[in-house]
A and B are shown apart, each in its own frame.
Chain A
Amino acid sequence: MSSMTTRSINSVGNSATRSAAQTAVAAFAAILLGSFLLYGVGFAQPQQIHDAAHDARHSFAFPCH
């Protein structure tokens, strides 16, 4: 138990080099792009986008029509 505690404390120390801010920026970028793509493929209503993604939307159970 004590060795596990030591290791976790070490890892906290090491990760100071890769800051929480970097993690937050990477996660935010992924959420931004992921949401944008998801909106386009699953929710956007322009006719051509709707038609292109039609079968995928139904299969993934997005509300489509």
Chain B
Amino acid sequence: MDLIRRLFTAALVAGVLSGTAASVVQQATTVPLILEAEKYEVVTPPPATSASPAGAPAHQHGPVREIGEGVPTTLDEAMQRIGLTIAANLLTGVAYALLLGAAILLAGRPVDARRGLVWGMGGFVAVSLAPAFGLPPELPGMAGAELELRQLWWLSAAAGAGVGMAALAFARNRLVIAAAILAAALPHLIGAPHPESAEGAVPPELAAHFVTASLGGAALFWAILGATCGWLMSGLVRETESRPALRVQPGAR
């Protein structure tokens, strides 16, 4: 139980710290771009039948927005939106920190803040860079293939990259390494699902800016997450290191 408690504590702290940092960076970088992009997003009206109870004013029939009209918000709505985004970021941080912490524990190698930073960069490559190679971070209003297909491809690209990097770092069997590299490459060889025609309403400059902002923020997020995980788990893994693979081989390195 002690091991679980300490692992979860490390993940909680790492997740909250990285999620907080991501929230600050996002409000300055990605969120303004999202709000800007929503001006170009045309909301399709709901089915006409339910929209008008008797006596409702005519202009409330459907939330149809014209391109360029923007998203009307009050201060309360804006604060609520920021608060929910922060909460989601903290949850994302804790979720990823739990997964990274489990990977560190399973690898059984000693960690500290610096090695944790390397683990964090691995996480960045797995869930940010590798999926973005096929599916660029997208703004609202951009054209995209069917959501479930993209989610599935995203997951396979992230999992494949994670498995590939873990095998390159820790596996000894060449067959295992080859299979893991294939798993990492396969989603990209198959290709990400894309819409038949890329006709989004968002200006390309906005979309390009968003890609760099999203990846940059994710890199910082993962650096903090990994370093904190490594730091807080330094005592944990040293006590549990039990893998035969750790044995020092004379002449190795």
Q: Give the distance in Å from the alpha carbon of A24 to the alpha carbon of B214 in the complex.
A: 34
A58/B11 in contact, CB under 8 A? no
For B35, the closest partner residue in chain A by CB is A55
B95:A34 contact, CB within 8 angstroms? yes
| Complex interface: chain B residues within 8 A of A53 (CB) | 84-85, 88
The interface residues of chain A, by DSSP majority, are classed as helix
Per-residue contact bits, chain A 31-65, to B (CB 8 Å; 1 contact, 0 not): 10111111011110100000111111111111111
- In the complex, whether B98 has a CB less than 8 A from a CB of chain A is yes
Other-chain residue from B7, B11, B214, B242 in contact with A12 (beta carbon distance below 8 A): B242
Is the CB–CB distance between B242 and A63 below 8 Å? no
| B241–A33 touching, CB < 8 Å | no
Chain B neighbourhood of A9, CB < 8 A: 247
Known: A22-B3, A27-B106, A59-B30. A15 touches B92 (CB 8 A): no
**Count the A-B residue pairs with Cβ separation under 8 angstroms: how many?**
167
Interface residues in B, total, Cβ within 8 A: 58
Q: Is B230 an interface residue when CB atoms closer than 8 A count as contact?
A: no
In the assembled complex, 30 residue pairs joining A and B whose CB atoms fall closer than 8 Å, in A order, are A1-B248, A4-B248, A5-B250, A8-B246, A11-B241, A23-B240, A30-B98, A30-B99, A31-B99, A31-B102, A33-B8, A34-B102, A36-B95, A37-B91, A37-B92, A37-B98, A41-B88, A54-B85, A55-B84, A55-B85, A58-B140, A60-B218, A61-B132, A62-B151, A62-B154, A63-B138, A63-B147, A63-B150, A64-B140, A65-B144
Closest 3 A/B residue pairs (Cβ): A34-B98, A61-B137, A56-B88
Interfacial residues, chain A to chain B (CB-CB below 8 A): 1, 4-5, 8-9, 11-12, 14-16, 18, 20, 22-31, 33-38, 40-43, 45, 51-65
